[in-house]
Amino acid sequence: MTGCKVKLLEECQNVLEENRRGDFTIPSPFLYPFQWNWDSGFIALGLLHIEPEKALLELETLFSGQWENGFLPHIIFHNAEKYTSYFPSADYWNSKVSRFAPKDLGTSGITQPAVHGFVLEDIIKYDFDKDRIARLYDQIVHYHQYLYEYRQFKDTHLVAIWHNWESGMDNSPWWDSVFKRIHPQLLENIQLKRKDVHAVDDSALTRPTDDDYKRYIYLVDQLRENRYERVPADFPFQVLDPVFNAILIQSNRSLLRIGKMLGKDTSLVESWIKTALENFSSIHWNADDGLFYTFDILANSQVKIHCSGSYIPIFAEIPDRDQLEKLLRHLEAFKDYYLVPSCMPDQPGFESKNYWRGPVWIHMNWMIAEGLRKYQEHEWADRIKNDSVKLVEKYGIREYFEPFKDSNTSIGGKQFSWSAALTIDMLKKQSG
């Protein structure tokens, strides 16, 4: 490892240490003062290289906010009284409207992609108490059972998301047509108290608009009215997301292996994997375009916009060889950019600096590169990994990055934990 890489590794480790809050890690000190669901999963992967006990504690602390019905919120509001300015706050979510929510800990009422199974599979490589691993295994299975009980689309073992924040890709162009269902008149009385626009540079160019945010809050209001349990048939945001579903399949594969190691009955997990794989491509794959797309349930149609999410099924080894080659031909067309833009530059809705409408995200690149290695596509995996490390070296440990190679602008949240954690993982694997 070169001197520059050693310095970068130290900087990433320092970010994780500075963002540690007891037994969990916040995503960023300037934007996100609580524990976020899939952030903690990716953060744990970096912590494994530094102090494995902290990685296990990260997940255990996250699951302290799990609801009785298995639901795992996207935010756990530890120490909520210290950060009352965050919006939407724990009080705004008011998770206690649900009979299943914790009584002594505030949470949000939506979830995020189920990364915990494949993270736990990395954690068990270390010498931890078997009872702690078994407890987390059972909690993760319970979460997946929630998803299939409350969110399953027909009998496909593919699950729907009810909010754009559940995808983790907040203002992706994938959601533009979905949000058109929410009439502006429904938003007139929504008051915003956003902190994010004051915590980042050039927020008008790099964050969702107020009009977007009002739609996000409208969905929260509607979900809260339904006690975060079910949604009416005409609820405007009901989407099958290939990112969410591919990650769920990958975590189920990990649960299958962990369960066998623990001596558990894994027949239910096996059925989840089998049925989801049988249905995934028929819902998400577009043979004419050679891409995976999100599926709008109410419109009964795919949303045909080329995004980085189109490649996440590679992580779960879903594409066959023909599908993979088509996906890689698409990537080749964007070789003059840093890979992988969250929305491709030739697509409607592309904005190079705006959050999920163009910038590169390290955790998406990490998943795509990890998946490509499973197909023995090491050259492609190295290209994506090297682009990721170059971006962090050039711009700092940021939340996201502009895909133009001639850009001189740093964007997004600073001292970002999952960017630090996954850069550590990539550098350590490279040196190993």
Measured in residues, the chain has a length of 432
Q: For residue 236, give the amino acid letter.
A: P
Q: Where on the phi/psi map is residue 415: left (φ > 0), alpha (ψ -120 to 50), or beta?
A: left
- What H or E segment, with its residue span, contains residue 425? helix 417-431
Alpha helices (H) in 189-266, listed in sequence order:
196-199, 203-206, 210-225, 242-262
Amino acid (1-letter code) at residue 145 = Q
Q: Report the candidate in 427, 353, 428, 432 with the shortest Cα–Cα distance to residue 395.
A: 353
CB 305 within 8 A of CB 266: no
CA distances from residue 241 to 8, 224, 307, 375, 380 in whole angstroms, order as listed: 34, 22, 12, 23, 24
Active-site position among 170, 296, 370, 387: 170
36, β-bridge pairs: 75
Q: Give the Cα separation of 396 and 303 in Å (integer).
A: 33
170 given a catalytic annotation: yes
Q: Can 188 be counted among the known catalytic residues?
A: no
**CA distances for 255 relative to 75, 112, 149, angstroms:** 23, 18, 18
Which residue is it, tokens 């096996």? 270
Rounded Cα gap, residues 373 and 369, in angstroms: 6
- Catalytic-role residue among 296, 370, 399, 425: 399
* Residue 75 vs residues 65, 109, 148, 334, 425: alpha-carbon distances, Å: 9, 8, 21, 35, 24
Question: Which residues are catalytically annotated?
Answer: 170, 399
